[in-house]
Structure 1
Amino acid sequence: MFKNIKNDLPASIVVFFVALPLCLGIALASGAPLFSGLIAGIIGGIVVGRLSGSNVGVSGPAAGLAAIVLTAIGTLGGYQNFLVAVVLGGVIQILFGVLKAGIIGYYFPSSVIKGMLTGIGIIIILKQIPHFFGYDLEPEGADSFIESSGENTFSAIIHIVDNITLSSMIIGLVGLTIIVLWDKVLYKKGKIFQVIQGPLVAVVLGIIYFNVTKGFDNLSILQKHLVSVPIPEDAASFIGQFSFPNFSAITNIDVWITAFTIALVASLETLLCVEATDKLDPDKNVTPTNRELLAQGTGNIISGLIGGLPITQVIVRSSANIQSGGKTKMSAIIHGFLLLISVILIPRLLNMIPLSVLAAILLVVGFKLAKPSLFKKMYDLGWKQSIPFFVTVIGIIFTDLLTGIGLGLLVGIVVILLKSYQNSHFLHIEDKSNSTHKIKMTLAEEVTFFNKGAILKELDRLPNDTILELDVRKTRYLDNDIIEILDDFAFKAKERNIDIILISERGTVENPPSYIEFFKLRPKIEELKHKI
């Protein structure tokens, strides 16, 4: 685990700076105590990071669950009652893992997964633009199109013009310049620039800028534009930040409904993130999905027991880890320890970090997820890949993560059905004369009821006085609906003077009296062949 520490340690520092504002922002957006987001980040890094089979995935509180958490806290009568649902949700996730439900993640098309990554990248960019210019009306970590303040994403960006904070914008621009310069130029100049990451330098400069400009009215950064970590006065007040579940609420049916909702949504988001991070991973590691569900379930049980928010694997942290060169799970684990140590030892120093600098780090992460070249690449792959991709991207931007993915998956299914409709058969004109057509129709390997319309259409279009050769030698599955269509057509074919020659592995049959009886015998013939 330590053999790649030279890669994992710098990456963990970047992930730490990405995770810190998101943990706080998601807690704020969820209506939960700020410290609960940090607990989830720490558990997600240390516990889930250790148990997970993913080398590059990073877990923590997820923005996609913020709306569920916010509603549930009110519905269940308080945060401590909600924590019972988090613990039960973790138990249900472990049950999912035991039942091998992790395979679900592999049933999402590649185009939808790429659309998810791109959509999240665009969301990161759009959400961080206001923070970059010092317009910090919304908490970090929001991912819905509609803001809690009543604005939407684009209206918030438009209102930046009237709400620019000069000091935040200056240090944000400096931080962004350093990160890009480090990534594109300095990184290749020497090992020192590979060990010390650009985001770390940008954060350090941000802290220095905050302290140097104190007292300068136009250049100083106000507290509301800085990170806001809870600062305990002593050990007792630190321990007092932890909340514990009220297990007397376990008999409440709403608690169980919330627990199942958390387990389902958190598991789905995790599996989608696993699929996405495996695609981003330059080493092409494959994450065992059932083990991931077990790890996430364990993390949620522990997080819920000590007052933390629900945990999922998160694509923003994971992609930041990959982009920063993380190689093993040590990066995720170290980032968890960094969160823990910094919250205990240096909360006042953390509260000197300008939000605009952290926004600059996230802007770079978002851009790398949503590179313009990817749009052209997906377009060039053709409409079967590009339409689900673009629908997923647009859906995520204007709704939320799961809705966008659901829309992309729905379009992907429609594309599959359409191609199945088109590929159920093909027609080939063998011989054409003035009087008689000889047409060959070869059925595909699998023909289902989805293909009924296409086959009916082609049979109806056959001209009178035609010889139809129906080749089923390659067909391994023929739906009963299709057999009935052929049986019905045989009756009409006599009236239209169409002769049917059926070509099968049993030989050639001209105008079989019953297709239903003929295909009933096929399984027995296949079984006999197998035995021979």
Structure 2
Amino acid sequence: MLHKHLNYYFRYLNHDVPAGVVVFLVALPLCLGIAVASGAPPFSGVVAGIVGGLIVSVFSGSQLSVSGPAAGLTVIVALAAEKYGFRGMLAATMLAGLMQLAMAVLRAGVIGAYFPSAVIKGMLAAIGVILIMKQLPHALGYDADAESDLSFVEDDSNATFSFVWEALGSLSLGAIVVSVVSLAILLLWETPLIKKNRFLSLAPAPLIAVLFGVAYNLLTTSAFPAFAIQAQHLVALPPISGPADFIGHLQLPDFSRLKDPEIFVTAATLALVGSLETLLSLEAADKLDPLKRTAPTNQELTAQGVGNFVSGMLGGLPITAVIVRSSANINAGAHTKIASIVHGALLLLSVMFLAHFLNMIPLACLAAVLLLTGYKLAKPQLLMEQYAKGFNQFAPFAITIAAILLTDLLKGIAIGMAVGLFFVLRANYFSAFTLTKDGRNYLLRLQKDLSFLHKAPLRATLESIDEGSYVVIDGARASFIDHDILEALQDFILAAGDDNISVELKNVRGLSGQNGSVRREGIESVVSCP
């Protein structure tokens, strides 16, 4: 059996190895940029990418999904690092991994289906807005306070906006040039002009942007120092030379933080949001798979749990399956998980032996990549699409965005879920039953599940029936009728004789009524009731 599996993987090496190289080139700037956006050392982002490639891919049931640090977790990671310190955040990541393993054991792979899509889209859009606001200082080369520039969160809720405003007073021309040109490159690479060119389309846009940034800074440093980007606005990986040095720079979690009960809340948030993003990315990757393979969700939770536990133990950021890297993997022609493993191996080799080169990358390049990522998460088209779906979809979406921006991610999601649940109950409440009138004949049709919430409007509807009428109560479409509803119907039947009302029951279990016939000719009105 093992031999059969090995043959399967070896068969597609000519596709998977080149695809792995492409994914590596896409992932490297994202790993570095997401680490900086999270207020964490760039090294931690690369460690997470390595674990995603070499560990998660092995345990995953998906052949094409690629895992690594994700933009969707930057807010939580930044808050955790601010509150518990970087090593405390690592402890939360490790705990999140254990929670994901527990979720897999409990068969919680279907959890994504229980979150309204409007709330999930609102969460991602809010993260996109925050990414844009927090990357603007890097794109502008804000030099007033280099240390705070690397921090994702501030002390007050208005700091994000004030921070960007302050950045306008201290600009770096070099950083602006790099970020603007990098954005132009990223946008140009999405046009048909580049996509139709076989040679240029093979080169990942983030890599081209990074190469431009490095070339620009090398040129200006030697020839035009006034336009050069300052050292504090370059990637700052530790000076690593070889495997032993790499191991020496790994950091362990701060286990003393486990005494703080609040860190378990942070870990649970990481586990929940990370699992949601993973399951959504997994579903998207399955749809893009040319062979239409379906990855087992609970096995993916196991893989992510192992990955986050290992990443936290080694000093890496939290991990999820990431659709950007997964789609790049599929578009590059990958057939199996070997491509993701190759990308992880190349990340490992790059940080071991090319740290000096990576430290030449301007943060403005990475900011451009993340600005475009944030825009794609929160693009106006998404707003219009949600609006077109109606108020029941738009309201939870918009309120989730506002709640996250005004509070924090966990509270915002909770508020969004509450609003989403309200609209589900509201829709169910107003379509539970209908009353049709034809002269003195009435048809009360129970449409779906009826709970105690429908008792009051049902009583009001029954009271509106005229004396001397003939009423048919049809429960054929109702799969569940609560005892309170049955009680209200029974009370109506018992009192019907006083008003000379005849009642016929059809498919209503638990009640007894009179037999009769109902004439349906010449319907006068149809009254939709809650």
Matches within 5 A, 1:284-299: 286-299=294-307
1:371 and 1:186 mapped to 2: Cα distance? 23
Aligned to 1:322: 327
Give CA deviations for 1:340-365 in whole Å, capped at 9, x if unaligned: 22221111211111111111222222
Counterpart of 2:141 in structure 1: which amino acid?
A: G
Counterpart of 1:18 in structure 2: which amino acid?
A: L
1:472 matched to 2:475 = yes
2:473 and 2:157 mapped to 1: Cα distance? 63
Give CA deviations for 1:1-48 in whole Å, capped at 9, x if unaligned: 6435544532331122111122344353xxxx6644443332133211
Matches within 5 A, 1:340-351: 340-351=348-359
2:92 and 2:509 mapped to 1: Cα distance? 61
The structural deviation recorded for 1:469 is 1.8
Matches within 5 A, 1:95-494: 95-135=102-142, 138=148, 142=152, 147=154, 152-214=159-221, 216-232=224-240, 238-244=246-252, 254=259, 257=261, 260-261=264-265, 263-278=267-282, 280-281=284-285, 283=288, 286-306=294-314, 308-309=315-316, 311-313=318-320, 317-319=322-324, 321-322=326-327, 325=331, 329-330=337-338, 332-429=340-437, 431-432=438-439, 437-494=440-497
1:426 and 1:147 mapped to 2: Cα distance? 54
1:26 matched to 2:38 = yes
The structural deviation recorded for 1:258 is 6.2
Preserved CA contact (<8 Å) 1:97 1:293: yes
Give CA deviations for 1:87-135 in whole Å, capped at 9, x if unaligned: 4553443232122122222211222233333333333323222221112
Against the structure 1 CA distance between its residues 343 and 72, is the aligned structure 2 distance closer, same or farther, given a 3 Å change threshold?
A: same
Percent identical among aligned pairs is: 33
Aligned to 1:11: 23
The structural deviation recorded for 1:417 is 0.6
Preserved CA contact (<8 Å) 1:271 1:289: no
1:194 and 1:133 mapped to 2: Cα distance? 29
Give CA deviations for 1:277-301 in whole Å, capped at 9, x if unaligned: 2454451665422112211221233
Counterpart of 1:102 in structure 2: which amino acid?
A: G
Matches within 5 A, 1:481-520: 481-504=484-507, 510=513
Against the structure 1 CA distance between its residues 410 and 5, is the aligned structure 2 distance closer, same or farther, given a 3 Å change threshold?
A: farther
1:274 and 1:246 mapped to 2: Cα distance? 26
1:15 and 1:313 mapped to 2: Cα distance? 13
Q: Matched residue of 1:468: which SS?
A: strand
Preserved CA contact (<8 Å) 2:38 2:78: yes
2:38 and 2:394 mapped to 1: Cα distance? 32
1:116 and 1:507 mapped to 2: Cα distance? 45
Against the structure 1 CA distance between its residues 466 and 141, is the aligned structure 2 distance closer, same or farther, given a 3 Å change threshold?
A: farther
1:200 and 1:131 mapped to 2: Cα distance? 18
Matches within 5 A, 1:49-68: 49-54=57-62, 55-60=64-69, 62-63=73-74, 64-68=76-80
1:220 and 1:444 mapped to 2: Cα distance? 70
Q: Matched residue of 1:359: which SS?
A: helix
Preserved CA contact (<8 Å) 2:32 2:43: no
Preserved CA contact (<8 Å) 2:17 2:342: no
Count of residues in Structure 1 that have an aligned counterpart in Structure 2: 488
Against the structure 1 CA distance between its residues 111 and 4, is the aligned structure 2 distance closer, same or farther, given a 3 Å change threshold?
A: farther
Aligned to 1:526: none
Against the structure 1 CA distance between its residues 87 and 58, is the aligned structure 2 distance closer, same or farther, given a 3 Å change threshold?
A: closer
The structural deviation recorded for 1:482 is 0.7
The structural deviation recorded for 1:507 is 13
Preserved CA contact (<8 Å) 1:90 1:299: yes
Q: Matched residue of 1:447: which SS?
A: coil
Preserved CA contact (<8 Å) 2:24 2:347: no
Question: Which 5+ residue runs of structure 2 have no aligned equivalent?
Answer: 1-8, 516-530
1:195 and 1:245 mapped to 2: Cα distance? 39
Which is worse superposed, 347-356 or 383-392?
383-392
Against the structure 1 CA distance between its residues 88 and 154, is the aligned structure 2 distance closer, same or farther, given a 3 Å change threshold?
A: closer
Of 47, 51, 69, the residue aligned with 2:55 is 47
1:448 and 1:471 mapped to 2: Cα distance? 16
2:225 and 2:274 mapped to 1: Cα distance? 45
Matches within 5 A, 1:68-83: 68-73=80-85, 79=87
Give CA deviations for 1:167-220 in whole Å, capped at 9, x if unaligned: 100111111112212221442342111211222122111111111101534311
Counterpart of 2:506 in structure 1: which amino acid?
A: I
Against the structure 1 CA distance between its residues 179 and 82, is the aligned structure 2 distance closer, same or farther, given a 3 Å change threshold?
A: closer
Counterpart of 2:428 in structure 1: which amino acid?
A: S
Which is worse superposed, 157-166 or 5-14?
5-14
Preserved CA contact (<8 Å) 1:105 1:268: no
Preserved CA contact (<8 Å) 2:474 2:508: no
1:57 and 1:460 mapped to 2: Cα distance? 61
Preserved CA contact (<8 Å) 2:49 2:67: no
